[in-house]
Structure 1
Amino acid sequence: MGVPPDLIAMYEAVAHPKFFLVVSGGNGAVMKTHGLIRKAIGSFINIDPTSFTLGTPPTAANGTSPALWLVADLQDYLAQAILDTRILCSSKITLFALPYDMPVIGFVGVFAGFTLPNTDDGANAARDLIRTAIAANGEISQFVQTHRDAFGPLVSAEQAWEAFLTSVEVRGIVLIVNDTNTVAWRLHVAPPTNDRTSWGQLRRLFGRLQVMTAQYGTARLQRAFRCRICPSIDHPTPLCPLPSLPGWLDATPTTIAALEDASRAAAAKAQEQMRFNAPVGAGSSNTRSGQGRNQGTSDSKPRRDGKGKKGGDYKGKGKRRERDDFF
């Protein structure tokens, strides 16, 4: 989930039971979102909404509300009830409960560049091409055979490598890139290690992998997506499957884009107001920045119509590059 190391250190100091919430929706203001989270949890388990601890992570640089919150000081059975339910949804906010000790998942990233069709035969061909390239990569082979704790102590290095190659799986996803439908391939493997740092190192090795073919073009791993509705990194927000579920009441790609733009606009307005109210001579570096009045900063400037660069969108909606910097 991209939690900064300093926050991890703080989270470790909190006693169990504790769990994370991925927050979608809210109204763009941290404290109001804080209240909505408390109300949703209090209503679900019928307790005083102020009777548990809710940690607030830092606001993102682009002005959006934080996505990952820590909940603590609940009784074990109440915390487990929320984790078992997994999704708490209202008309204003959606909460995804995740265990504090989240397991390493096998999603590596998205390969793009093949000219294969989004069919079973296309997926099988992409899998075989990627698997062959992995098998020929000495760095990945050595790393998997060295960091193989997830396979158990009785599995040899050679057996771990064979099991890893056998686990390679790809799933197609159709993206719109430069107004053209493009098929990309999501790569999944059996994680050879349960250590997050080692898993991150392995993913970076995959990021260097280039699969060249004479017939189907050249593909390489792209940066992972970051869906703003659910915790997933294997699809962009417009392709999130949750809003299509029966009874879904909250976040959609359109509402998420509107909330993010409202947050950026509010951040820009607040910063402009601070400059306007600053004493004469204070913050002189800002007056020489060349940004001028009513412009905000490059991080907080709102995008018109909730649109940014094209890529990873779906049916022309929510055109944003929602990426994680893994490679």
Structure 2
Amino acid sequence: MPPQHPTKEPNSNTSPGDDTPGKELPPDAPLSTLCALLTTDLNRRSLPTSARSVPHDPLDKYTKAQMPKIYDGHPTDIFSLIDPKVVDEWDSRPACKLFALPFGIEARNRSRHNSIRACIFAAVAEITQSQQMGISAPKPSKQAKRLNYTPSAFLIYNLTEAQRRTLLEKTVWSSIDISFRVALPEPNLPDFLFNIKGFTTMSMDLVRSMVVAVWQDKETQTSLQMISQAAANKEHTYSQSNIKAFTESLEVKRLDVKEKGDILAPRFNIHAESKYIKDHNLWAQIQDFLADCQYSSNMLGRGTTQIAPYECRICYSVDHPHGLCPFPSIAGWNRPS
């Protein structure tokens, strides 16, 4: 018979599965996973209902950022090629209204308008919680059909003033389902006037000085004053101070465009604050006049102006091409890109 070895008393300080005698557990050793879960659940049950979970905000899905401005080429571009009968019907709707202008190339495809309308409807319903609002899709005018052009301004109607303000808090609403710009259903006077190309300089200050010289020229100021006086009516009167404030608000922004062969060919966007010009017809006349001026200097040579030089396929702004659209680089941007 093999020798019998003395049996050791189990050491209460030995961990299960640990043959090392005398290894002590720390006094604050955690409870088992099951016990910990049960304890957490009991603690949670003792809390008031409102403290058990944080409610989900459905608006978290929309990009939270300061959105770049989007510029139309003309104050009435948004609705100029929509069927006039549709525009009249839209205009007759009571309560508050807004335009929703979707992003992306699908907006110019009329066969996609039903699905776009549904996405805008779902978004606006979620954002405003309205029980009365609706979305109407545009119909092209005869001229639009001849031009093979599809207007893309959808009407948001039956809003309350509070719901209208909520939508206008963001100029652009962007989620994974739809991105759209919100605009007032009236002529929109853009700050962007035109673009100058042909200068081989990176200096915005140099270009601005040249434009200032043209705009402050006595002949230019006289012509602008005559245009504004001719456009004056009962609703809008313009003084020399209006024109002066408008021209002094000049801002030049460089656009680093590259041409074929990856050759840098900067463009210079010319802006002025439209708030000084209330009437959209007068604004358009001033835009045409200033774009027709000659912009040249010994240092820069002669530039060429372009009104509405681009139509971005992402946001449809006329001041930049698709490749320089600022929206895709925004943190948290959803679509399109």
Give the TM-score category using the shorter length: 0.5 to 0.7
Q: Quote the residue 2:252 is aligned against.
A: 170
Q: Please give the TM-score of this superposition, normalised by the length of structure 1.
A: 0.65
Q: Quote the residue 1:42 is aligned against.
A: 125
Counterpart of 1:217 in structure 2: which amino acid? G
Conserved in 1, the CA contact under 8 Å of 2:236 and 2:278?
no
Deviation at 1:11, TM superposition (A): 4.0
Deviation at 1:242, TM superposition (A): 1.2
Task: Name the larger-Rg structure.
Answer: 2
Deviation at 1:63, TM superposition (A): 6.5
Deviation at 1:31, TM superposition (A): 1.2
Does structure 1 residue 136 correspond to structure 2 residue 212? no
Q: Please give the TM-score of this superposition, normalised by the length of structure 2.
A: 0.63
Deviations, residues 169-213 of structure 1 (Å, cap 9, x unaligned): 211111122332111111112334211111111111122122122
SS in 2 for 1:215: coil
Does structure 1 residue 22 correspond to structure 2 residue 109? no
Q: Quote the residue 1:232 is aligned against.
A: 317
Match of 1:210 among 294, 298, 301: 294
Conserved in 2, the CA contact under 8 Å of 1:207 and 1:222?
yes
Q: Residues 211 and 80 from structure 1, CA distance in 2 versus in 1: closer, same or farther, beyond 3 angstroms?
A: same
Q: Residues 137 and 205 from structure 1, CA distance in 2 versus in 1: closer, same or farther, beyond 3 angstroms?
A: farther
Deviations, residues 41-82 of structure 1 (Å, cap 9, x unaligned): 22223346xx42322223565767643211111222222211
Does structure 1 residue 68 correspond to structure 2 residue 153? yes
Match of 2:271 among 155, 166, 188: 188
Counterpart of 2:103 in structure 1: which amino acid? S
Give the stretch that moved more between structures: 138-147 or 170-179: 138-147
Q: Quote the residue 2:192 is aligned against.
A: 107
Q: Residues 165 and 37 from structure 1, CA distance in 2 versus in 1: closer, same or farther, beyond 3 angstroms?
A: closer
SS in 2 for 1:85: coil
Q: Quote the residue 2:174 is aligned against.
A: 89
CA distance in 1, matches of 2:201, 2:88: 45
| Unaligned ranges ≥5, structure 1 | 253-327
The alignment covers a number of residue pairs equal to 243
Aligned Cα root-mean-square deviation (Å): 3.0
Does structure 1 residue 56 correspond to structure 2 residue 137? yes
CA distance in 2, matches of 1:63, 1:111: 28
CA distance in 2, matches of 1:250, 1:212: 40
Matched-pair identity in %: 19
Give the stretch that moved more between structures: 7-16 or 173-182: 7-16
| Unaligned ranges ≥5, structure 2 | 1-71
CA distance in 2, matches of 1:8, 1:188: 30
